[in-house]
Amino acid sequence: MTASSHFPAQYREWMRDALDEARGALATHDVPVGAIVVDAAGRRIGVGRNEREARHDPTAHAEILAIRQAAASLGEWRLTGATLVVTLEPCVMCAGAIVAARLDRVVFGAWDEKAGAAGSLYDVLRDRRLNHRVEVVAGVEEAECGALLTEFFRAAPA
């Protein structure tokens, strides 16, 4: 039994798709983070990968790009019933966008102890003071998600 085997098979499959997106970020020297948004029926309605370097845009995080695409594909900013799957715990900016978009659930892989806002450093997604709370499922394919990031930063010039 692997560490991730206690998660639903669908979450693991979606995370593998998000990992494929993350690997695509390597071509532009962006931090390899990938995200997908699926609707309540499990259909992919948005995808994104970090593109801060590619776009010269500090807001071009994988989650933001996937959320924007999902909203455009639905013609609706409310993503009620949808799940965001991302390889790294969302930061504060992305957590704010997740709450604003009214996503039901976030499934993430690796924890981000330095900037995470889904339970490690902050817990924006489940903050009772906000108008919307998000279900958080952490650690799906965590080892593979973490290894991709570790390899990237080890190879980065000092």
Annotated binding site for Zn(2+): 61, 91, 94
Q: How confident is the model over 19-36, as pLDDT tens digits?
A: 999 999 999 999 999 999
Tokens found for residue 32: 């390899």
The structure's pTM equals 0.95
Domain enclosing residue 50, as ranges: 10-152
- Point out which residues pair with 69 in neighbouring strands: none
Number of structural domains in the chain: 1
Q: Strand 105-110 and strand 83-88: pairing?
A: parallel
SS3 at position 67: helix
Bind-site residues: 61, 91, 94
Which residue in 21, 63, 141, 142 is the catalytic one? 63
Q: Is residue 158 part of a domain?
A: no
Q: Residue 53 sits in a domain of what CATH number?
A: 3.40.140.10
Structure tokens given for 28: 């532009």
Active site residue 141: no
Amino acid code (one letter) for 57: D
Write down the pLDDT at residue 2: 45
Chain-centroid distance of CA 156 in Å reads 22
Place of tokens 């980065």: 156
Amino acid identity, position 150: T
Q: Does residue 2 lie in a domain region?
A: no
* 46-79 pLDDT per residue, tens: 999 999 999 999 999 999 999 999 999 999 999 9
